Structure 1
Amino acid sequence: KKVRRLLAFGVVMFTLLLLLFIFVATRTALDLWERLQSVPAPLFYTYASLIGLLVLASLWLVYKLLRPVKTGVAGENKPLSEERLQDELAAAEDAGMETAELRRELERLQQRKQAGRIHVALFGNISTGKSSIIRALLPDARIEHQVEQQAAPAVDVQGGTTQRITRYTWQSESGDSLILTDLPGRSEAGGSLDEMARDEAVRAQIVIYVTDSDLSRQQFDDIVELQRFGKPMIVALNKSDRFSEQEQQQLRARFAQYFGEHTNKAGMSASNTPAEIKLVFVTSGGEEEVLRVNADGSEEKITRPRAADVSALAQALQTEIDAHRELLESLRDASVFVLVKQKLDADKRDFQQQQAEAIIKRSTRKAIIGALAALSPGSDLVIQAVLGTQMVKQLCQLYQVPVRQLDIDKLLELSTGTLRKNTSLLLAVAGNGMKAFPGVGTITGGLTHAVAYGLIFDALGHAVAKTLQQRGKLQPAPVALTFNQMLGENLESRARNFARLVLDSRND
């Protein structure tokens, strides 16, 4: 009941004070207006202009403080083009990144466009007959060049330890110049397509996947992954002479069902993926075992060369070239742009992580030195606040994230609340870290506080960097939550490391 009376009294007093303010403000405004009527016109308009400018400046400042911060890089949603990639590469070089390999990728694209050749990539597992198909398809083909790549130790020994890309040049009957890229075969060991294979799929204009049986789960996944690159795609089922006409029809129906259902579930359309993957049956040659009946009636098994028949694949290739001649160029260009963009983004993430680590280490060292150099109690708080603000601004600049001082102040306020709850723990751990060094274990005060500041800045810096990388903007609440988690990770080992840094800084 007393609380309600106090609230009622407060409402009455607030109303009276508000009315008093309105009366005084009204009287002052009327008095000012009356006086302004008697002044010269130039003075009147000058005074009114100053008042208007002051109001506009105040409104602009309020807007700047309260407007939502734009995140991401300008133009991020614009279509990829060579000009945009060149601008991004130039910006990356200005930041200190190495972009020579990415520029070479764009140069290779220009060379391919000028040559006017159609690039076809062949994929498939080991021993499915890719090389035999090429020999049957292109008997007069010549090897343009080979690229060898040493495989990782984890590669199945059955697949060999050296991977080789072989490129063949061929002139089709219709006069089209083709480059066929024979990629290293894959074992059935599982995993996903390696980076080399994915890059070749991106560079190619047509993709051929070779198999010699009904699709395994791994082969199905490979085809789905290759299909996502949006290129015309042909699946060549080798050694088709083992299947009767009826079995081939069954395989066609099962194939159409597999990829029809997958395309519908994935929500793919002709705008980002070819509407259909063509299935053709081929025989690449090799040897076959037959039963020969001799003149005396005896029988014997002999091996003889198997006749090659890749006409269906050659026809499917020519059909794709004739039907999509203009589209093949645009598909290849767009895919290479995406490849360069993806590699640039990956390199940028690695570069930003390295630079962020360097910023955090520098700021942490400055915080430790600032704690050691504090001349009076409380002066270190001012130093650490300035250093903390600088570290956050540098990290935001590195990740190209606009930042407001209001957000930084809010972040430091939330972080301070976390520190109040953990001050005793941090000082205790810092003291234990100092005890690991003989002769200084009993020293307290400045050294212990310096170690604690090292722990704080290290955790805060990594929390800010992680949030900027994941969210693309500075959000004080998530940063404070991550900071609280990182502050308690590996406290003892981190404390010993910073104790060593404190002692080195003191000696310096």
Structure 2
Amino acid sequence: MAVDTLWRRLRGWLKPDAFVAAAPGATANTDTAQSRMTASLRSLLDDPTISPAIRSDLAADFGRIEAMLDRLERGELHVAVFGRVSAGKSALGNALLGREAFTVGVLHGTTAAAQQATLDEAIQDGLVLIDTPGINELDGEARERLAFDVAEVSDLVIFVADGDLTRDELDAIHTLAATQRPLLLALNKADRYRADEREALLDRLRERTSGLLRAEDVIAVAARPSPERVLDIDAHGREHAHEQQRPPDVAALRERLLAIAQREGKTLSALNAGLYAGRLTDQVSARIAASRRLLASRLIRQYCIAKGLAVALNPIPVADLLAAAGLDAAMVVQLSRVYGLPLTRAESGRLVAVISAQLAALMGAIWGVQLVASTLKGVSAGLSVLVTAAAQGALGWYATVLIGRAAERYLVAGKSWGDQGAKRVVAEIVASLDRDSILREAREEILKRLKSRQAPLL
């Protein structure tokens, strides 16, 4: 299946009404959409039109698609725990899991690489937590990039803050929201605030993230509450003070996660896979387009040289122009194969005729000069080849560039001139090219080749 066709189908299945997991009887619709998504992702991975070079360049991305397919088949929902250094990301992950799965330290940079563990209470829902490096780690860009990469391939993100948001945190939330991931904001270390202070801070966070998160998705937690001071009285009536560690307070966040996993887990996993596949297909399409443009440019240049020399070396008046038209038609046939839209020789000839007619209307004076040069070359019996042939060959070269680029636009648009029509497209091509530099390059190349053949020509 062609990449662009696949992505059109993915976009159709990613419409909101394709996944209505919370609605009664929506399970069948969700399962059907997920099955379609899985099949299309497999088609993307197996697409024979994607060259080995492109697959090699995008190997990591194709690997991620494979991993996402495995997750879909296992029914997992991946949740990235995200935030700045020391906000308590790892501690929150451990509190949600009920065990020390993630490394917790007092120094910056404890989480140097992404770690993940399955949430015990949600094994039946396939919920997986991913702990990420802090967005402001000491060694900066590499770890921050890793954190964003992990969030990008997760199905849901918990952003952990321990107070009002800094500029960097708010920027990060905007960036994450742009990835179209559902976001939860966990206000960690909430035990440090009085009840009224905590509610005021939650309201402040909801206000600052309005439009990015729902109000109910801003939740107060305490992953590692401060120890409480406890007084014991011994048998002699003497008081003894000691500190006692309080249990984590993450019940509200855990319940929210479990509800999302149960109600929307398959939906989010399929959406995430589709969104990531969309970005990958865009990259693949861009690489294929760039590869085609490069190949087309080389092909057009080859025909420019062939046509320039054919025009310059043909001593028969006007016959050189007819030979040039044949080369243009052959070039368009080759270009159509490059773009995967093969044209017959007859179709190619008609396309060249349309383009040439528009060029003649725009540049009649140039073609008149070429006709005069052709006649002059015939009258001089070839003796003035170096005087007239290089100039005429350069014009032939320039015409081939114009015809090739116009045909390329027609093919890229799927064998169509679009709403603009042939006249407008050809005019834009003419305006976009630097005629003088093309003619200068053409004359230099043709003269160089003519001089190497000068003895046999005279």
The TM-score with structure 1 as length reference comes to 0.59
The answer to whether the aligner puts 1:76 opposite 2:24 as a matched pair is no
Q: Is the 8 A contact 2:96 2:119 kept in 1?
A: no
1:213 aligns with 2:145: no
1:365 CA displacement: 1.9
Alpha-carbon offset, residue 327 of structure 1: 2.2
**Alpha-carbon distance change, 445 to 87 in structure 1, aligned in 2, over 3 angstroms:** farther
Q: Deviations over 1:175-231 (max 9, x none)?
A: 55643223343349999x988656533532321112333234554443344335554
Deviation, structure 1 residue 318: 3.6
Is the contact made by 1:396 and 1:402 (CA closer than 8 Å) also made in structure 2? yes
- 1:232-251 correspondence to structure 2 within 5 Å: 232-251=182-201
Which residue does the alignment assign to 1:279? 218
Contact 1:352 1:398 (C-alpha < 8 Å) held by counterparts: no
The 1-side partners of 2:389 and 2:243 are apart by 87
Q: Which amino acid aligns with 1:354?
A: S
Matched, 1:333 2:273: no
CA distance in 1, matches of 2:248, 2:355: 67
Further displaced range: 380-389 or 206-215 = 380-389
Q: Give the direction of change, closer, same or farther, for the CA distance of 1:338–1:168 in structure 2 (3 Å limit).
A: closer
Residues 443 and 167 of structure 1: is their aligned pair in 2 closer, same or farther, counting only changes over 3 Å?
same
Match of 2:249 among 293, 311, 315: 311
Contact 1:237-1:281 within 8 A present in 2 as well: yes
Identity %: 20
Once residues 238 and 253 of structure 1 are traced to their aligned partners in structure 2, the CA distance between those partners, rounded to angstroms, is 15
Shift of 1:83: 2.5
The CA distance in 2 between the partners of 1:345 and 1:181, in whole Å, is: 27
2:425 maps to: 479
Instruction: Classify the secondary structure of the residue corresponding to 2:165.
Output: coil
Q: Residue 95 of structure 2 contacts residue 248 of structure 2 at CA under 8 Å; is this kept in 1?
A: yes
> Given the superposition, is the C-alpha separation of residues 357 and 165 from structure 1 closer, same or farther in structure 2, using an over 3 Å criterion?
same
Contact between 2:304 and 2:398, CA under 8 Å: does it hold in 1?
Answer: no
Q: 1:344 to 1:232 in 2, by over 3 A?
A: closer
Partner of 1:488: 434
Matched, 1:179 2:123: no
> What whole-Å deviation, never above 9, does each CA across 1:311-346 have from its counterpart, x for those lacking one?
23x542343323442521232123213312321231
Aligned partner of residue 8 in structure 2, secondary structure? coil
Q: Which residue of 2 aligns with 1:413?
A: 357
Distance between the aligned counterparts of 1:348 and 1:361, measured in 2?
A: 20
d(CA) in 1 for partners of 2:112, 2:320: 61
CA offsets 1:232-280 (integer angstroms, 9 cap, x no match): 42112234345443333233333434444x36xxxxxxxxxx8666112
Cα 1:446–1:481 shift into 2, 3 Å: same
Match of 2:299 in 1: 362
How many Å separate the matches in 1 of 2:263 and 2:7?
27
SS of aligned partner of 1:213: coil
Which whole-Å CA distance do the structure 2 matches of 1:360 and 1:215 have between them? 51
**Alignment RMSD, CA only?**
4.7
Shift of 1:139: 6.4
Q: Structure 1, residues 53-104: CA drift from partner, whole Å, max 9, x if none? A: xxxxxxxxxxxxxxxxxxx759935536233344455445366664363553
- Quick check: 1:384 aligned with 2:324? yes
Q: 2:248 and 2:266 mapped to 1: Cα distance?
A: 26
1:373–1:170 distance in 2 versus 1, CA, 3 Å: closer
- Measure the CA separation in 2 of the matches of 1:227 and 1:128: 20
Distance 1:122 1:472 in 2: 48
Residues 114 and 150 in structure 2, CA contact (< 8 A), matched pair in contact too:
no
Output the amino acid matched with 1:383.
Answer: A
Between the aligned partners of 2:97 and 2:261, the Cα distance in structure 1 is 22
2-side partners of 1:232 and 1:199: how far apart? 16
Deviations 1:421-460 (A, max 9, x none): 567999xxxxxxxxxxxxxxx9432223333444444455
**Residue 393 of structure 2: aligned partner:** 450
**C-alpha separation between the residues in 2 aligned to 1:368 and 1:205?**
54
| Distance in 2 between residues matched to 1:197 and 1:175, nearest whole Å | 24
Does 1:124 find its partner at 2:83? Answer: yes
Tell me the equivalent position of 1:99.
55
Task: Provide the C-alpha distance between the structure 2 equivalents of 1:74 and 1:166, rounded to a whole number of angstroms.
Answer: 31
CA, structure 1 residues 466+171, in 2 after alignment: closer, same or farther (shift >3 Å)?
Answer: same
> Structure 1: which 5+ runs fail to align?
1-71, 145-158, 264-273, 291-303, 427-441
Partner amino acid for 1:502?
Answer: I
One-letter amino acid of the structure 1 residue matched with residue 219 of structure 2: V
Q: Is the 8 A contact 1:367 1:387 kept in 2?
A: no
Deviation at residue 372 of structure 1 after TM alignment: 1.2
Q: How does 1:186-205 map to 2 (within 5 A)?
A: 186-187=135-136, 200-205=150-155
Cα distance, 1:214–1:443 mapped onto 2, change above 3 Å: farther
The residue matched to 2:266 in structure 1 has which SS? helix
| 1:338-349 map, 5 Å | 338-349=275-286
In structure 1, how many angstroms separate the alpha carbons of the residues matched to 2:181 and 2:320? 62
Kept in 2: contact 1:202–1:336 (CA 8 A):
no
Q: Does 1:167 align with 2:115?
A: yes
2: CA distance, partners of 1:398 / 1:126: 51
**Which amino acid counterpart does residue 169 of structure 1 have in structure 2?**
A
CA distance 1:95–1:286, shift in 2 (3 Å): same
- Which string of whole-angstrom CA distances, capped at 9 and with x for unpartnered residues, describes residues 363-422 of structure 1? 222232222123223233333334434444554554456986666543332233333356
Relative distance call for 1:125 and 1:401 in structure 2 (3 A) is farther
Q: 1:486 to 1:140 in 2, by over 3 A?
A: same
Asked if the contact 1:411–1:479 (Cα under 8 Å) also holds between the matched residues in 2, the reply is no
For 1:213, the aligned partner's letter is G
| 225-234 vs 193-202, which moves further | 193-202
